[in-house]
């Protein structure tokens, strides 16, 4: 480490000490994560999901099914593994499949104690080998006798033909060695309960399958029972099966899964109609498992209704939280999470106090909420590993805050990298303007992915309508449903604050560079400002960016991703950012951006217009805005409401 790095490390350590070790580290007296005690049980290692843990404990005791819904990386698979550890102790079983002498296409299923299956199969194989060896010896003696007799009688040709005929006859008439039973599911008697991850499994891997036999006659065929393959539901017998993104299963697979849940057994058959395995169907195979289904919010809508009803009726539904309160107890848990990730990785060094402090600050920032820590722990785990890799590359014995800061720059998401590239190119081609003024042009802000923002230029123009049906609002830029609805709501604001009759006007709104589309209503104040600017021909400050939703009464409503949007504006060179006042507690921008941008909280669209617009006579303009709003309210109050009688 050179002199510069020593100075940086010293500054970061002072920064941690300044915030107070007792406060940041929740009273933990540690020097590094090596001093943190990690619980032995997996369920005690789950961080921040107290409700889910409580449900898992209850469901395990009663062997109930559980469906966990939440964002990726919030601990669904870890909770499912923990449930397998909590299941009541049961005697595990091996499952064997035997040939059926009466019907080859209906193999027989038998269960035995765990560990006995291998012994039974091995005993049958030894017995079959003995029978085969004895049969081969007798055949060889018979053939040698025939060949010897033919040599003595000088009838060599007839002797060879007779020997070949006998060999072939015995070859196709004797029982096959392959008729020994097949071990379908093998369990270790020492294992408490199996945990099977069936995520992404196709029908055969999930429900079992029967392999195709290309040689179905002529003595070359494989016995039907020997082609049977167990599915994930059978290997999870008396254990737990975890299926993430359950809505991606086909309707047929979900229906079959429902049948298995109801019956506790499920026959195995060929999954392809074109396969010879489709003719085979075993006796019912035991599959009494506990299912933990998981998915994002859209999984609920696309899931088979009967399958979800079964889970709700005989189990629990749990929503996985994305944040937890930033209090001493939860900070201690988060520090333990860092130690757990380091132990599980087993390759990276431990984190010192400065690195732990920087990780806690990053968890606060990624929560997007004041007073909370993020629970998207998979992403945080990735940051931990990258910081550890940087420390290893530098041959450091311990990870410091400097390594964590380096990891934050290196381990950025694709969206974050694209955002930086978009900002750079926008400046090169003047798509993003950050100084001067312009009529009908506003710098809006948007979120890219889940952890980055971008500047979203919005332009508006007003033209006389060419349609006999009257004017309309035309918005372009791949707007999705919520964004389109927000444009309609803005029409009320325009009428209220301009006082103009827009029935004979076409209002054109263009979102610049929205190649991936626009969703949400966080650009509402930007659109309203751009349209009012175009209608009144009043310039808009280009060193100001804004984000916020609007009510039809002009109230500025909260939005998401405020931190990332402000940072994107700062990187673009914008000096001021207007945000909803209710989002101020959520702003947790990096220290480096705090001196680059001024954050202005607002409650109403009037405040936005006062800050962003640059009229020739500002006092008269502001008075006009207030008068327009008052006159509009007065006209509405004077006009008696129209009462519609639905029975008329």
Pair 82, 196 in one domain: yes
Pair 514, 622 in one domain: yes
Active-site choice (450, 565, 571, 572): 565
Pair 474, 344 in one domain: no
User: For residue 373, what pLDDT band results from cuts at 50, 70 and 90?
Assistant: very high
User: Could you tell me the CATH number of the domain that includes residue 447?
Assistant: 3.30.230.10
pLDDT at position 480 is 66
pLDDT at position 262 is 93
Contacts of 272 (CB under 8 A, 6+ apart): 212, 278
Residue pair 294/80 in contact (Cβ under 8 Å)? The answer is yes
Could you list the residue range(s) of the whole structural domain that residue 589 is in? 421-637
Q: Is residue 159 part of a domain?
A: yes
For residue 53, is pLDDT > 90? yes
Tell me the two tokens of residue 167.
Answer: 């060999």
For residue 147, is pLDDT > 50? yes
Pair 173, 58 in one domain: no
pLDDT at position 178 is 52
Q: What is the dihedral sign for C-alpha 251, 257, 262, 263?
A: positive
Residue pLDDT, tens place only, 315-366: 999 999 999 999 999 999 999 999 999 999 999 999 999 999 999 999 998 8
From 185, 220, 246, give the residue that closes a domain. 185
**Pairwise CA distance, residues 261 & 250, whole Å:** 17
Q: How many domains does the chain have?
A: 4
Residue pLDDT, tens place only, 548-590: 998 888 889 998 889 989 998 998 899 999 999 999 988 888 8
Quickly list H helices, 73-224.
Answer: 76-86, 116-152, 156-173, 203-207
Q: Is residue 608 part of a domain?
A: yes
Render 306-338 in DSSP notation, one character per residue.
HHHHHHHHSEEEEEPPSEEE-SHHHHHHHHHHH
522 tagged catalytic: yes
Q: Model-level pTM?
A: 0.76
Compute CA 77 distance to the chain's CA centroid, rounded to the nearest angstrom: 11
Q: Within a 10 A sphere around the Cβ of 348, how many other Cβ atoms? A: 20
Residue-averaged pLDDT of the chain: 83
565 tagged catalytic: yes
Phi/psi of residue 595, nearest 5 degrees: -90, -5
Pair 391, 440 in one domain: no
Pair 267, 311 in one domain: yes
Give me the torsion for CA of 407, 413, 415, 417, rounded to 10°.
40
Residue pair 338/359 in contact (Cβ under 8 Å)? The answer is yes
Residue pLDDT, tens place only, 588-608: 888 888 889 999 999 998 899
From 410, 443, 478, give the residue that closes a domain. 410
For residue 505, is pLDDT > 80? yes
Active-site choice (486, 522, 533, 572): 522
Tell me the two tokens of residue 251.
Answer: 């309707």
Residue pair 95/103 in contact (Cβ under 8 Å)? The answer is no
Tell me the two tokens of residue 621.
Answer: 């303009």
Pair 351, 489 in one domain: no
Q: Within a 10 A sphere around the Cβ of 192, how many other Cβ atoms? A: 16
Q: Is residue 568 part of a domain?
A: yes
Shortest CA distance to 203 belongs to which of 269, 264, 154, 289? 269
For residue 447, give the 3-state DSSP assignment: strand
If you search the block for the tokens 């392959």, which residue do you land on?
A: 178
Pair 315, 379 in one domain: no
């Amino acid at each position: 480490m050179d002199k510069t790095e020593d100075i940086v490390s010293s500054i970061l350590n002072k920064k941690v000490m300044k915030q107070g070790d007792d406060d940041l580290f929740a009273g933990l007296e540690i020097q590094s994560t090596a001093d943190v005690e990690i619980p032995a049980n997996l369920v005690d290692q789950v961080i921040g999901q107290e409700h889910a843990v409580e449900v898992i404990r209850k469901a395990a005791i009663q062997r109930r099914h559980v469906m966990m819904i939440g964002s990726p990386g919030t601990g669904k698979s870890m909770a499912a593994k923990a449930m397998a550890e909590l299941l009541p102790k049961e005697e595990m079983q091996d499952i064997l499949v035997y040939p059926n002498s009466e019907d080859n296409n209906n193999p027989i299923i038998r269960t035995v104690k765990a560990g006995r299956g291998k012994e039974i199969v091995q005993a049958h194989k030894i017995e079959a080998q003995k029978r085969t060896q004895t049969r081969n010896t007798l055949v060889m003696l018979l053939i040698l006798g025939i060949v010897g007799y033919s040599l003595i009688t000088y009838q060599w040709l007839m002797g060879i033909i007779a020997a070949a005929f006998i060999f072939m006859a015995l070859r196709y008439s004797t029982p096959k060695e392959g008729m020994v039973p097949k071990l379908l599911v093998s369990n270790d008697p020492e294992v408490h309960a199996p945990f099977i991850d069936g995520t992404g499994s196709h029908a055969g891997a999930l429900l079992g399958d029967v392999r195709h036999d290309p040689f179905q006659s002529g003595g070359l065929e494989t016995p039907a029972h020997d082609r049977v393959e167990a599915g994930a539901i059978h290997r999870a017998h008396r254990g737990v099966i975890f299926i993430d993104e359950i809505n991606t299963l086909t309707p047929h697979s979900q229906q079959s899964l429902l049948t298995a849940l109801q019956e506790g057994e499920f026959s195995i058959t060929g999954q392809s109609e074109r396969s010879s395995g489709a003719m085979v169907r075993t006796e019912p195979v035991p599959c009494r498992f506990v299912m933990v289904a998981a998915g994002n919010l859209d999984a609920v809508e696309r899931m088979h209704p009967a399958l979800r009803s079964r889970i709700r009726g005989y189990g629990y539904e749990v929503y996985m939280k994305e944040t937890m309160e930033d209090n001493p107890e939860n900070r201690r848990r988060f520090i333990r999470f860092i130690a757990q990730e380091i132990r599980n990785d087993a390759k990276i060094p431990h984190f010192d106090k400065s690195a732990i402090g920087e990780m806690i600050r990053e968890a606060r920032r990624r929560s997007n909420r004041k007073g909370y820590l993020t629970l998207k722990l998979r992403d945080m785990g990735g940051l931990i590993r990258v910081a550890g890799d940087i420390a290893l590359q530098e041959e450091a014995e311990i990870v410091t805050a400097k390594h964590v800061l380096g990891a934050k720059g290196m381990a950025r998401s694709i969206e974050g990298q694209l955002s930086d590239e978009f900002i750079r190119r926008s400046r090169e081609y003047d798509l993003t303007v950050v100084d001067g003024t312009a009529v009908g042009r506003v710098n809006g802000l948007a979120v890219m992915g889940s952890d980055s923002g971008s500047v979203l230029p919005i332009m508006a123009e007003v033209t006389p309508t060419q349609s006999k049906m009257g004017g309309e609002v035309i918005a372009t830029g791949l707007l999705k449903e919520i964004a389109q609805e927000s444009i309609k709501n803005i029409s009320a604001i325009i009428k209220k604050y301009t006082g103009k009759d827009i029935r004979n006007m076409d209002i054109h709104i263009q979102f610049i560079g929205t190649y991936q589309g626009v969703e949400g209503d966080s650009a509402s104040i930007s659109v309203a400002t751009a349209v009012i600017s175009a209608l009144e021909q009043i310039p808009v400050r280009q060193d100001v960016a804004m984000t916020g939703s609007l009510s039809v009464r002009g109230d500025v409503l909260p939005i998401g991703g405020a931190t990332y949007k402000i940072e994107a504006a700062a990187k673009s060179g914008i000096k001021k950012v207007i945000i909803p006042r209710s989002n101020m507690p959520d702003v947790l921008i990096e220290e480096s951006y705090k001196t680059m941008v001024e954050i202005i909280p607002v409650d109403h669209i009037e405040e936005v217009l006062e800050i962003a617009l640059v009229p020739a006579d500002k006092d008269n303009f502001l008075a006009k805005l207030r008068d327009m709003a008052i006159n509009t309210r007065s006209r509405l109050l004077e006009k008696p409401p129209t009462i519609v009688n639905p029975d008329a």
